[in-house]
Amino acid sequence: MNITALTSTAVGAIFALVGTIIAYFVTDRGGRRRQSLTDQRQSYLDFARAVEAAFGALRRMCEPDRHVDNPRLTAHEAVSESHVYVKRQPLLLLNSGAINRHAADVLRCLSDLKRAAGGGAKLDTVAYHRAFHPFAEARRHLRRAARLELGAPETRKEAAEDVQGDRVAECPVCRAETDKPTV
């Protein structure tokens, strides 16, 4: 093989290699993006499930007919056994500041709800509702942010249209309290 043929073979090999490398990185970047969205969604879903588990356990202990020996301890266990703070870590690492700000609000409100339940508040009391409504509102904001950022195009559209109003105004317990005559 003469030097010209050798050179063109080498140049051809280099072009082929460069092409393979570019193809690898282009595909890999797309793959990484898809993987990242999948991980973001999963971390949100894990966190949201933990929030629901904590809320469900707190709500159960606040049922009017349920006797709870040690409300403070039961409320503490309701939250800690949901592992909501553990599930928050991947959320912090993978998701946006907006989603995490709403998640922080949810946790703050969940903590208020834990305090109310731990203090013996029952579902039909104003003490429970004062903590429940802000929690429900914070959870709604988090869901909306997640649907906008992580949802499929149709759920993003629904989230953008979702402008539900204040639920306190529709709540019989809170309305009865507001309508009470002041003495």
Closest CA to 112 of 81, 139, 148: 139
Q: Near Zn ion by CB under 5 A, which window of 23-31, 101-109, 112-120, 123-131?
A: 123-131
Q: Select from 129, 139, 144, 147 the one that contacts Zn ion (CB under 5 A).
A: 129
Q: Which of residues 162-181 bind Zn ion (CB under 5 A)?
A: 171, 173-174
The whole-angstrom separation of Cα 26 and Cα 177 is: 61
DSSP codes joined into one string, 90-137: HHHHHS-HHHHHHHHHHHHHHHHHHHHHHTT--TTSHHHHHHHHHHHH
The whole-angstrom separation of Cα 43 and Cα 123 is: 30
AA letter at 2 = N
Q: Is 127 in the site for Zn ion (CB under 5 A)?
A: no
The whole-angstrom separation of Cα 93 and Cα 108 is: 19
The smaller minimum CB distance to Zn ion, of residues 129 and 139, is found at: 129
The smaller minimum CB distance to Zn ion, of residues 129 and 144, is found at: 129
The smaller minimum CB distance to Zn ion, of residues 161 and 179, is found at: 179
Tell me the closest approach of the beta carbon of residue 115 to Zn ion, in angstroms. 17
Closest CA to 146 of 52, 55, 37, 29: 37
AA letter at 23 = A
Tell me the closest approach of the beta carbon of residue 128 to Zn ion, in angstroms. 8
Tell me the closest approach of the beta carbon of residue 122 to Zn ion, in angstroms. 13
The smaller minimum CB distance to Zn ion, of residues 44 and 135, is found at: 135
Tell me the closest approach of the beta carbon of residue 151 to Zn ion, in angstroms. 29
Give the interface with Zn ion as residue ranges (CB under 5 A): 129, 171, 173-174
